[in-house]
Amino acid sequence: MNPEIASPVPQTPPTHLCQPFQVQWQHRLYFAQNVFSLTSSVLPDVIAFDPLPARVLVVVDQGLLNAQPQYLDEIIRFFQHHTAALTLAGPIIQIPSGELCKNDRRYFDLLCQALHDARLDRHSYVLVIGGGAVLDLTGFAAAIVHRGVRLIRIPSTTLAQADSGVGVKNGINAFGQKNFLGTFSPPWAVINDEALLPTLPHHHWISGFSEAVKVALLKDSAFFDQIQHHAPAIAQRHMPPAVAIIRRAAELHLRHITQGGDPFELTRARPLDFGHWSAHKLESLSRFSLPHGHAVAIGLALDLVYSELIGLCTPPLANQVIACLKTLGLPVWHELLTHTEPLLEGLEEFREHLGGQLTITLVRNPGESLDVHEMDQSAILRAVQKLAEIAST
């Protein structure tokens, strides 16, 4: 008997199947003080442990250890105190601060090796404490080893606590491009520990507030009023208003991810990137000597002056925001803005990283944003000129 005759193959099978499916995550954001004090229960609470203690590989930013030299001992004591719940899966790893660690492939290789040597599995944890660059690098390694081990971030800077540390992205630089390699990978949890902030160098301290201004302008005019109001106190490093503002920025960021409808940026717009096309370019032109938060302040100022010039936002807004940024102690100008050809290349690089059509988010009024798909290059150059004048007064 010919088996092909016995069970005939269907004659008109469908030519394709198209099935939607979804993946569900939890975004967990904790606000804490002194995570590694022996009485703090945040970390054991965050870790859903088996009968066996959770295995945790710890990665720390050297910048934090320079500012708080006792920090390593505190971590070790904390793990010794919580042996029933937590165990160190390997030696604590130190990574140098800033973009350097994302540029030099050796740090990435070192982390993959460490995750391998610690025999981490998909239910183990990488706990990383540091600024945005160290979080990005470590998060990328954690995201791809075994297709993802659990990542807990403790952002140690205002910038990372307000913005990137709360997000779902990671990455390293390659071929001279920022975040050329990376993934969208929700962390297991993020813990914003305010005790890490008082020892920040001042340029790091102030850096996160430009992202707070950004998210306020995009989403919440009352929050922008609040930042304007507290700007002098923040510049003087008063903790309570600063912590409240960072917390609000983190909450808005989390809400955007969880309720914005496109956490993995599968569609075109990237609405949190207001002011970022020129910021990214200025960072790279400065060989990353310009901190991200400072570059964002300049990028916001430029896009607002541009918006005013093309009649998109009403005149007082640009001046108001620039005054607020200056009061905070943030720059609104950099000589590299006058390098107009490379600056304008930043627009195309921004488009390329996002893909598809250029989409730039601008702000008409605080809390009221809109997307545009082209920018007038001559108006950008006039905006640069006008910003130079404003900045020099």
Question: What residues from 97 to 156 belong to the interface with a second copy (CB under 8 A)?
Answer: 112-113, 116, 119, 121-124, 143-149
Give the nearer residue to a second copy in terms of CB position, either 37 or 179: 179
Q: Return the residues of window 246-285 that contact a second copy according to CB under 8 A.
A: 247, 251, 254-255, 257-259, 263-266, 268
Across the strands, what pairs with 282?
A: none
Considering only 53, 90, 241, 367, the residue that binds a second copy (CB under 8 A) is 241
Give the nearer residue to a second copy in terms of CB position, either 73 or 348: 348
**Cβ–Cβ < 8 Å for 9, 49:** no
From the number of C-beta atoms within 10 Å of its C-beta (0-12, 13-18, 19+), residue 142 rates as: buried
Using the contact rule CB under 8 A, the part of the chain among 93-101, 238-246, 302-310, 335-343 near a second copy is: 238-246
Question: x/- contact string, 207-226, with a second copy (CB under 8 A)?
Answer: -------------------x
The number of residues that bind a second copy (CB under 8 A) is: 85
325 touches a second copy (CB under 8 A)? no
Q: Which CB contacts under 8 angstroms, 24+ apart, belong to 31-36? A: 31/191, 31/192, 31/194, 31/247, 32/191, 32/192, 32/193, 32/194, 33/193, 33/194, 33/195, 34/193, 34/195, 35/154, 35/191, 35/193, 35/195, 36/71, 36/74, 36/75, 36/77, 36/78
Structure tokens at 68: 């708080």
Considering only 44, 67, 77, 184, the residue that binds a second copy (CB under 8 A) is 184
Question: x/- contact string, 65-104, with a second copy (CB under 8 A)?
Answer: ----------------------------------------
Least Å distance, CB 327 to a second copy, is 11
Least Å distance, CB 311 to a second copy, is 28
**In this structure, what is the dihedral angle of CA atoms 301, 305, 308, 310, given to the nearest 10 degrees?**
-130
